[in-house]
Structure 1
């Protein structure tokens, strides 16, 4: 079947989680003929470095023009030109984000959307400037089939759209083979706890700060914070009030550096009040890094029996669990072994196969 990924996310992200999701699908479809997916509509104009690396995208020659509105407008012109040339239309259009209204320039095509989470709809109080997912609702109602990255996200979707009557396929995410525990003789773990990702609102970073302040006098371990941008003024002030300014480091690592950070950490701490999937959980487990996870539905779904869980707002319980992972080598090794076993259930090949099933259901809907 001929499948087109629209250009929305590739016109928006030079790097990023959702664009990486579609790139992983593209690589599997290009390399596995058994999946019987022929990607159409490429190459496109893009700012995405990885799409260019695999030969599916090019940038405009004038750098300042490589912005989403310009790229999307130019890609629409290219698509119209292909239509005039009577190039075969795609059987399925897979929309990559929700910036624009559902694209109906291919009336003979079926339309698929991936739902990564319903957090802005469930917790609007955390999004003062409005829903960042823009026109997601219109895409949901226009879709011929929907992929959800977790059972949790599927339940959330149906709770908000109870009358939805299209096929919904759960397509759990995979994790790159670059995330691995490394050689057996790489030595002892490093002396730091690890936090990865955005920190605002429902991400609950404040609970981790409180927990770390409770145990800071009992351990020499530091806290390494990855991604999410530099600390905001309020965060820096809180860190100083807690007396932790010399114990907390913020890093913006490359992918290769992030892999090493996972391998060396005492554990990953993921205190989020809600997630649609929670990819750092998989990255940590694949790297042999124990995962301390808030007991929110998606994190429990992904972590299974390999995660060590705590109530999302209980900083004292979290501090106790962080100390146990630090001091109990046998316990830490048990969590590592469980994580490596658990992560074997997830792969991008499986994601691609389940998404291909979603395309088939869209065609037969």
Structure 2
């Protein structure tokens, strides 16, 4: 079976969860599955070994505004050429905001992966409506979601038949990262990872951490990784909570540095109101870091009893749970051991095998557009 991956995510992402997901599918395709990724130009870190592509980089050490447009244009042209050749059995786009390939797809099966329904649920934070996703979902022969929670959202928000929507959890690989530039971090800290936009609920953590410091944890620090520098509004929020001088921020970190941050943290806190899968949960489990999670969205599905939970609308409850976790060494040990066991349930070979099954199902499905 031959799968053609439409490569937009590798044009616009130097690194990130979506491109990492597709790169892992390529790595674990297995015998009998031939994968084509028509990338001509890309600065994506996961493609640098050129195991799956024969592409060029575009001044990767220079931040050139708009360079992604050139990459997108060249990679789109290569994709159109591959579509015209029709030498594939299934098309799997790497993003859900493009439809240019549909006119050339013909009767070939289309499989899409929906990682979350955030644009539909939090549309006030997005400039573009999710019309492309709606078009793709109607045309798709099979839809992959990365959690049962996301599947439920897809069935609630998109007009698609339930039998065409399958759950395939992400995998996770615990890697031994090579030594790199070490980050100077406090002796005792709580970790927050990723961007901090509204639905990520960063303000709840700031308020809870401020309360915690006032309850006798003056030596504790808050470390934020990724998400870019603090905005003036975030700086005002931190200073208003009395923790402006107790917060350290690394706007960009490597995978190795992030792994080190998890290993050194007293706890990883994920206060988001919604996630499609919550990949940082597995990252924390893999580095033996106890996790404190919102009791909402996909979190209980992914972490199960390996996480400690709180109401994301109640900073006082987050503060109480965090204090409990910091004071109770036995609880910390229990959560770490459960996390190690839980992360073993998520492997990329398993995810790739299940994805291949979806491809096979798509080839046997009566086309959605013909109904």
| Fold shared per TM-score above 0.5 | yes
What are the superposed Cα offsets for residues 292-314 of structure 1, whole Å, 9 maximum, x if unpaired? 00001301110101110000111
More displaced stretch, 165-174 vs 310-319: 165-174
What is the number of residues matched between the two proteins? 349
Change (3 A) 1:345 1:102: farther
Q: How does 1:288-299 map to 2 (within 5 A)?
A: 288-299=288-299
Q: Determine the C-alpha separation between the residues in 2 that align with 1:62 and 1:323.
A: 47
How far apart are residue 98 of structure 1 and its match? 2.3
Aligned with 2:174 (options 166, 177, 184): 177
Change (3 A) 1:108 1:304: same
Alignment correspondent of 1:215: 212
The unaligned stretches of length 5 or more in structure 2 are 178-185, 366-371
What are the superposed Cα offsets for residues 215-274 of structure 1, whole Å, 9 maximum, x if unpaired? 113111111011111111011011112221211101122110110110111111001111
How far apart are residue 174 of structure 1 and its match? 1.4
Does structure 2 retain, via aligned residues, the 8 Å contact 1:3–1:94?
Answer: yes
Change (3 A) 1:237 1:248: same
How far apart are residue 176 of structure 1 and its match? 2.4
Alignment correspondent of 1:141: 138
How far apart are residue 57 of structure 1 and its match? 4.4
Change (3 A) 1:179 1:209: farther
What are the superposed Cα offsets for residues 182-216 of structure 1, whole Å, 9 maximum, x if unpaired? xxxxxxx9511010111111100000000000011
What are the superposed Cα offsets for residues 68-111 of structure 1, whole Å, 9 maximum, x if unpaired? 43333323433455577x5x611001011023215132324211
Change (3 A) 1:6 1:328: same
Q: How does 1:146-295 map to 2 (within 5 A)?
A: 146-164=143-161, 167-178=164-175, 190-217=187-214, 218-219=216-217, 220-251=219-250, 252-295=252-295
Q: Determine the C-alpha separation between the residues in 1 that align with 2:146 and 2:203.
A: 27
How far apart are residue 122 of structure 1 and its match? 1.8
Q: Determine the C-alpha separation between the residues in 1 that align with 2:145 and 2:333.
A: 33
Q: How does 1:1-365 map to 2 (within 5 A)?
A: 1-29=1-29, 32-33=30-31, 36-42=32-38, 44-55=40-51, 56-59=53-56, 67-81=67-81, 89-101=87-99, 103-104=101-102, 105-125=104-124, 127=125, 129-131=127-129, 135-164=132-161, 167-178=164-175, 190-217=187-214, 218-219=216-217, 220-251=219-250, 252-365=252-365
For normalisation by structure 2, the TM-score amounts to 0.88
The unaligned stretches of length 5 or more in structure 1 are 181-188
Does structure 1 retain, via aligned residues, the 8 Å contact 2:7–2:37?
Answer: no
Does structure 1 retain, via aligned residues, the 8 Å contact 2:278–2:299?
Answer: yes
Does structure 1 retain, via aligned residues, the 8 Å contact 2:293–2:308?
Answer: yes
Does structure 1 retain, via aligned residues, the 8 Å contact 2:2–2:90?
Answer: yes
Q: Determine the C-alpha separation between the residues in 2 that align with 1:57 and 1:326.
A: 49
Does structure 2 retain, via aligned residues, the 8 Å contact 1:179–1:286?
Answer: no
Alignment correspondent of 2:183: none
Measured on the aligned residues, the alpha-carbon RMSD in Å equals: 2.3
Q: Determine the C-alpha separation between the residues in 1 that align with 2:343 and 2:313.
A: 27
Change (3 A) 1:69 1:166: farther
How far apart are residue 147 of structure 1 and its match? 0.6
How far apart are residue 60 of structure 1 and its match? 5.8
